[in-house]
Chain A
Amino acid sequence: GAVVSQHPSRVICKSGTSVKIECRSLDFQATTMFWYRQFPKKSLMLMATSNEGSKATYEQGVEKDKFLINHASLTLSTLTVTSAHPEDSSFYICSARDPLQAGGYNEQFFGPGTRLTVL
């Protein structure tokens, strides 16, 4: 099956620094990737849709200057949390959609997540 990886799996940083999280589709080309955020014991909230070669589409209430998304290739999307603060501490999960998946199932494949802790 389709595999999506994330790096790093865990990161701790000081307040005010920027952190970059990578999301890669390993065995398929993903024109669209998605970034989600999950607070403890809560569900996943979609932050933005990342489109290869174009600007990301952000959900209402998500600061685009705070969460920079770059989808420079068909297998890589990055999320950069700029000037991170403790309230940005969360579990970030990406997913990727394989447009060529047989049957048009529109299934998304999820990465293992990145736990960000901002001190």
Chain B
Amino acid sequence: KQEVTQIPAALSVPEGENLVLNCSFTDSAIYNLQWFRQDPGKGLTSLLLIQSSQREQTSGRLNASLDKSSGRSTLYIAASQPGDSATYLCAVTPMRISGTYKYIFGTGTRLKVLA
């Protein structure tokens, strides 16, 4: 059974710091991995999607890497800003459950960037 874990569960940093959020999954057979942010009481905003054949994706100050063999992904946020404060979720699509394309979500990291 695929399990997705995110470390740390919560993180508080001063503005301007570069930071790394971690996501690990137990079964390396995945179609893709996606990072989201969620603001309190709101829905999900997609940040980056990495296909299983890719190693990283970049968008602005965000860079996500994928190491499928070790079951890990990292989300790197450069020069953090107070507006980055949110909960960050990673999700994987398991390959072994063919035809369903379901997402399995991680436990989330609550980020607070202090001004």
Residues of A within 8 A of B (CB): 6, 32, 34, 36, 41-46, 49, 57, 91, 93, 95, 97, 105-113, 115
Contact = CB atoms under 8 A, between A and B. Distances in A.
A46 B43 contact: no
Interface of A is mostly: strand
Contacts, number: 55
On chain B, which size bracket covers the interface? Answer: 20 to 34
A97 to B, nearest CB: 6
A36 B36 CA distance: 15
Interface of B is mostly: strand
Contact of A107 (B34, B89, B100, B108): B34
Contacts of B105: 36, 43-46
A106 B102 contact: no
Interface in B72-115: 89, 91, 93, 100-108, 110
Contacts of B49: 105, 107
Nearest to A109: B46
B44 interface: yes
B32 interface: yes
B41 interface: yes
